[in-house]
């Protein structure tokens, strides 16, 4: 019997941009924000040229989640890939997803393809962006400054919270 050893390597996607300095926040970033506050970081993005509001940046979550109603309003129900999986919340409440969908999310001119789990039901936001999305964008979120900053070839982009 002949044995063959197969080695699989994965490509690392590394973005290297020249920067004038590190991503940081300063007093100019906080000028228009009423202090003190305890607000979550909520942004809006473009999906298929439609602005979607109430998107929570949640560094504590491990799954991108979008509401069925949002997909329905975008007219993209036919793009949902049926899959059944149970998602657990921090309070151990379970929610069964209706499927998965990959969408181009335009965030300040940067448009990565983002995979979402589609759920039906009520939640306080239209979608949740989680840790892997934040890491993929190489973004730095700040709830204090109500902003998300990330690197692009043109420099540092800022998305302000709503």
Q: Give the CA angle between residues 151, 155, 161 to the nearest 5°.
A: 60
What is d(CA 1, CA 142) in angstroms, rounded to the nearest whole number?
59
* Residues 64, 127: Cα–Cα separation, whole Å: 7
pLDDT band at 124 (very low <50, low <70, confident <90, very high): confident
Q: Could you read off the pLDDT of 12-51 as tens digits, one per residue?
A: 454 454 445 588 998 888 888 888 889 999 999 999 889 9
The structure's pTM equals: 0.79
CATH class of 27-160: mainly beta
User: Could you identify the residue written with the tokens 């991108």?
Assistant: 64
What percentage of the chain reaches a pLDDT higher than 70? 83
Nearest to 161, CA basis, from 15, 3, 17, 45: 45
Q: State the average pLDDT for the chain.
A: 83
């Amino acid at each position: 019997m002949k044995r063959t050893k197969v080695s699989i390597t994965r490509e690392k996607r590394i973005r290297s941009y020249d920067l004038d300095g590190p991503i940081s926040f300063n007093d100019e970033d906080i000028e228009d924000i009423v202090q003190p506050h305890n607000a979550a970081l909520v942004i809006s993005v473009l999906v298929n040229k439609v602005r979607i509001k109430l998107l929570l940046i949640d560094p504590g979550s491990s799954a991108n989640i979008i509401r069925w109603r949002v997909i329905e309003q975008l007219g993209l129900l036919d793009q949902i890939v049926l899959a059944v999986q149970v998602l657990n919340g921090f309070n151990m409440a379970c929610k069964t997803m209706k499927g998965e969908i990959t969408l181009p999310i335009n965030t300040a001119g940067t448009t990565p393809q983002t995979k979402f789990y589609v759920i039906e039901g009520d939640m306080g936001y239209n979608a949740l962006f989680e840790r892997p999305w934040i890491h993929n964008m190489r973004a730095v979120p700040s709830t204090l400054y109500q902003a998300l900053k990330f690197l692009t070839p043109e420099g540092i982009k800022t998305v302000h919270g709503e």
